[in-house]
Amino acid sequence: MIHFTPISTNSKVKTKHSLNDIYWIISLFVLPFIGLPTQLKAQADTSKMAWFADAKLGIFIHWGIYAVDGTSESWAFHNKQVPYPKYMKQIEGFKAEKYDPTYWANLIEQSGARYTVITAKHHDGVALWDTKMNTLSIPKKSPAKKDVLTPFVEAIRKKDIKLGIYYSLIDWSHPNYPQFLKDSVRYKATEDTLRWNRFRQFYQGQLAELNKAYKPDLYWFDGDWEHSAQEWQAAKVRASILASKPNTIINGRLQGYGDYETPEQNFPVSRPNLKYWELCMTTNDNWGYRQSDHNFKTPYQIISIFADCIGMGGNLLLDIGPKADGTIPDEQVNILTELGAWTKQHQEAIFGSIAGMPQGHFYGPSTLSKDSTCLYLFVSQTAANNVYLKGLNNKIVSAEVLGTGISLEPKIVGKISWSHVPGLVYFEVPAAAQNKYISVIKLKLDKPLSLYRGKGGFD
């Protein structure tokens, strides 16, 4: 079965070539013959990353046929928990009859998120949009009978929210994709380069479609681990994306050709290596909707994890898994709503802030204003009566509980008159000023933050 339809043979597209199409055609069909710079490794330029660094919170959406029976997304058949035909049969139950993309966009906006990333296609190969590269898509195969990606993109584009498209490089359903089940492969990419090339043309063709239709602000690739950068033609894919929209951000799952690091689920204790990073995390234990999974994190846990991320200069990409009918589970609606009330009260400490103090000065996360003259301390209820700060050389001009209008009086303890070592700064947050999850103390400093990092005594 031939799955690849070269873009240039599609006369409908051909007659409407925009600059964007031409870029794609050049990069897909011409660049491979003239070669590409081999060292095009992730070099995120700061100006294009500016919105991402300020955005802090993104909402990840895993929506696919796996929501029908509530299996794990794609992995269910790959890991042989469910036979492949049974897994794929879920498509017959994907109706999306209550799907309301405007509601989704409103909820995302309400959470305070500044970007969103939606699974256009997961490892199972089922496209949410009406791809012309094959027929395995929601519009072609499911009773929903419609493209469910475009209306979401349109709803998001009406907001001040950046659009990210998740695209799985892996396609375990495609007859020309080498890997299939965990213990069986169709063939080896290195041994049948013609067949592998057919798959590459297919996937790059899908990317061309996505690029043409949505021009996302961010591409979130996944599954790069199954092939090398060379096999994926990662350099070419990156170049093609940037040629059509130079500011596009690419996540770090393109075999070294992305712009930022994407630790998954496991919280980093020390700061990831790349300057830009984003923790992607589920609200319960699964990416997609699973009716059996009730292990939701509490709003407090989500908020404290979020505060921890931004305190270390990263973003949180928090996942939701809508049901097959298009509704969002109540627990996730609740988490996003609570998160939204919290982000609203503490906007100043979150958006546009930079990483706070290194560990050791304060028992909790902190952020700084970009000029480092305002320090924000994130304080849980249990710590609110006994907040203290070590090694602050600055004078505190004012202290307040953010979003409450309540001022605080710092108490300096243990300052020795003849020593340059600063004293400890204590605060008490009055009960009336405490946020039910995490309060934020804003300290206005006399000048940019200066910290004493010595070992005490005469040091």
Q: Which residues bind ligand GLC (CB under 6 A)?
A: 62, 73, 222, 264, 280, 287
Min dist CB 281 to ligand GLC, Å, is 9
Min dist CB 287 to ligand GLC, Å, is 5
Min dist CB 300 to ligand GLC, Å, is 23
The C-alpha atoms of residue 2 and residue 458 are separated, in whole angstroms, by 76
Min dist CB 311 to ligand GLC, Å, is 22
Q: Mind spelling out the 3-state secondary structure of 418-429?
A: CCCCCCEEEECC
Min dist CB 178 to ligand GLC, Å, is 17
SS3 for 235? helix
Min dist CB 73 to ligand GLC, Å, is 5
Q: CB-wise, 120 or 425, nearer to ligand GLC? A: 120
Q: CB-wise, 136 or 357, nearer to ligand GLC? A: 136
**DSSP codes of every residue in 35-100:** ---TT------HHHHHHHHHH-EEEEE--STHHHHTPPTTHHHHTTSS-HHHHHHGGGG---TT--
Q: What is the CA radius of gyration of the chain?
A: 25
The C-alpha atoms of residue 356 and residue 56 are separated, in whole angstroms, by 14
Q: CB-wise, 92 or 264, nearer to ligand GLC? A: 264
Q: How many of the other CB atoms lie within 10 Å of CB of 279?
A: 23
Q: CB-wise, 164 or 403, nearer to ligand GLC? A: 164
455, with CB counted inside 10 A (0-12, 13-18, 19+), is exposed
Min dist CB 221 to ligand GLC, Å, is 10
Q: CB-wise, 315 or 369, nearer to ligand GLC? A: 315
Q: CB-wise, 319 or 338, nearer to ligand GLC? A: 319
The C-alpha atoms of residue 83 and residue 142 are separated, in whole angstroms, by 19
Token look-up 């204790």 returns 269
Structure tokens at 127: 């496209």
Min dist CB 442 to ligand GLC, Å, is 34
Q: CB-wise, 74 or 366, nearer to ligand GLC? A: 74
Q: CB-wise, 73 or 259, nearer to ligand GLC? A: 73
Q: CB-wise, 209 or 222, nearer to ligand GLC? A: 222
Q: Calculate the dihedral angle through the C-alpha atoms of 189, 132, 222, 109, rounding to the nearest 10 degrees.
A: 180
- Which contacts qualify for 34-42: CB closer than 8 Å, 24 or more apart? 36/235, 36/236, 36/239, 37/235, 38/235, 40/235, 40/238, 40/239, 40/257, 41/256, 41/257, 42/252, 42/256, 42/257, 42/258, 42/259, 42/274
Q: CB-wise, 203 or 287, nearer to ligand GLC? A: 287
Token look-up 């299939």 returns 180
Min dist CB 97 to ligand GLC, Å, is 25
SS3 for 316? strand
Min dist CB 381 to ligand GLC, Å, is 31
The C-alpha atoms of residue 439 and residue 433 are separated, in whole angstroms, by 8
Q: CB-wise, 78 or 114, nearer to ligand GLC? A: 78
Q: CB-wise, 164 or 410, nearer to ligand GLC? A: 164
DSSP state of 291: T
**Distance in angstroms between the alpha carbons of the first and the last residue of the chain:** 74
Min dist CB 308 to ligand GLC, Å, is 18
Min dist CB 253 to ligand GLC, Å, is 7
Q: How many of the other CB atoms lie within 10 Å of CB of 191?
A: 9
Pairing, β 315-320 against β 278-282: parallel
The residue count of the chain comes to 459
Output b/e per residue, 286-314; b: 16+ Cβ within 10 A: bbbbbeebeebbebeebbbbbbbbbbbbb
